[in-house]
Amino acid sequence: MHFLKPIIGVLVAYLLIKIGVPFLGSLSHPGTWPVVPTAVMKMYLFFIIAGAFVASTFSEEGYNGLIGPIVDLYGNPAKAKLRLGAVAAVSLLGTWVAYQYVKPSFDAPVELRSVHPAPPSSANMWGKSFELQTLKNPFREDKANFAKNVEEGGIVYYKNCFYCHGDKQDGKGHFYSAFNPIPANFVDVGTIAMLTESFVFWRVGTGGPGLPSEGAPWATAMPVWHTMLSEEEVWKAVMFIYEQSGVQPRVTATVAEKK
């Protein structure tokens, strides 16, 4: 059973990458299961198999041990049935691989894209131009009516946003599983906590179609809200999601310097 050794070796390596890597990755990013992307996995496997082959065939015994059973299987008249089985297995494997390639899939095509696109300097909404660099939430300054404004933002949120972004702001609203990529999770520190309010205002206002041409095509179902909500409603909703998810909007150096 000499020929089983390299095969077991390859299997162990495969499992290490298939399960070990996501496991280690999930320790540093709890809640995710960071699999090795298929494209990388294929290359890994190719070189692991090549390495296993090379490491077990450098000596004559090793070579015969690995190749011998195969030669025996295809050449030995006594093993006709087994041979038939092997040929069938190989053909079926080939069929399966071919099928995997050609079967219709609903996955979006493989893409390279940045998570937070660079915002444009200005955006056109409600028929006017907003300078995103200097734009500030007009309701932030109004300390007296803060609670009232947030509450009004909450009404806007529950009327429009909550179906996807969820009750807990975690991106798991009623429809979330229908979207790919899933709706943004506001509680995660990687989303709105990293962004300024003006950036969020722009993303809400112009939605998916407003994303920059670099990195296109974009896969997002975010609607263009400025055609459906008023400027004030969007600002209040933005304030609400920050307030409700318990994170602070990012303050850029420019804004800080001006204070």
Partner 1 sequence: MKVRFMFSHLKKMLSQRSPSAYRFGVALASLLVIPAALSFNSLEISQPVLKAAAEAVSVQKVWANEAAAAAAPAAEAKKDEKKGTEVWAPLAPPKLEAKDYPVVKGFNSRITVWFIAQLHLFFGAFVLAVPIFVWLIELTGVITKDERYDHMAHEFMKVAMTGFSLAASFGGLLSIALVVFYPQFMLYMTGIFGKVMIFYALAFFAESFFLYTYYYGWDKMSDGKAKTIHLSLGLGLNLAGVFLMMVSNSWASFMMAPSGLDDAGVFKGDVWAAINGHLWNPVNIHRFVANIAYGGSLTAAYAGYKFLTAKTAQEKAHYDWMGYTSFFIAIIGLLPLPFAGYWLTKEIYDYSQQMGITLMGGAFAWLFILQAVLIGTIFLSANYYLWCCLARSPGAKRYTFMIKPIAIVIVTAFLAWFTPHTLVMTSKEVTQIGGAHHPLLGKFGVMAAKNTAVNFLIVLTFLSFQIYQRSNKRAVGDDFWATNGTSVQIGLYVAGLANILSLGIYSYYLPASVRIGLSVPQVTTTLIVIVTSFILDGKIFKKSEEMGETQWGNMPVRSQYALFTLTIGFTWLMGLMGYVRSAIRQHWHVYTVFRDNSPDAFTPTLPYAASVVTVIVCVFIALVLFMFWMPMLAAKKGSSGEH
Partner 2 sequence: MEATKKGNSELGKILGYSLFIMLAFVGFAKFGIPLVIPELPPVEEKITGAMTQDQMVAMGDKIFHGKGTCTLCHSPVGGRAPLLDGVATRAPERIKDPRYKGKAKTGEEYIRESMKEPSTYVVAGFGKPGTNDTVSPMPQIDKGAIGLNDVEINAVIAYFQKSSGLPVTVPLPTGAAAAPAAGGAEAAAPKPAATAEEAFNKYGCVTCHKVPGIAEGGDMGPDLTKLASAAGSRKPGMSGEMYIIESISTPNAYVVKGFDPDIMPGDFAEKVTMSEMNLIVKALLGKK
| Interacting residues toward partner 1 by CB under 8 A | 21, 24-25, 28-29, 31-40, 43-44, 47-48, 50-52, 54-60, 63, 107-115, 180-182, 190, 219
In sequence order, the β-bridge partners of residue 131 are 122
Nearest approach, Cβ of residue 218 and partner 1 (Å): 11
* 208-211: long-range contacts, CB 8 A cutoff, minimum separation 24: 210/123, 211/117
Q: Which of partner 2, partner 1, none has residue 121 at its interface (CB below 5 to 8 Å by kind)?
A: partner 2
The reply on whether position 124 binds partner 2 by CB under 8 A is no
Nearest approach, Cβ of residue 159 and partner 2 (Å): 33
Q: Which of partner 2, partner 1, none has residue 253 at its interface (CB below 5 to 8 Å by kind)?
A: partner 2
Nearest approach, Cβ of residue 77 and partner 1 (Å): 27
Sort 232 into a burial class: Cβ within 10 Å, 0-12 / 13-18 / 19+.
Answer: middle
The reply on whether position 257 binds partner 2 by CB under 8 A is yes
Considering only residues 53 to 112 of the shown chain, the ones binding partner 2 according to CB under 8 A are 110, 112
- Stated as kind and residue range, the H or E segment containing 82 is helix 80-102
SS3 89: helix
Which alpha helices (DSSP H) does 132-218 contain, by range? 146-160, 162-165, 197-206
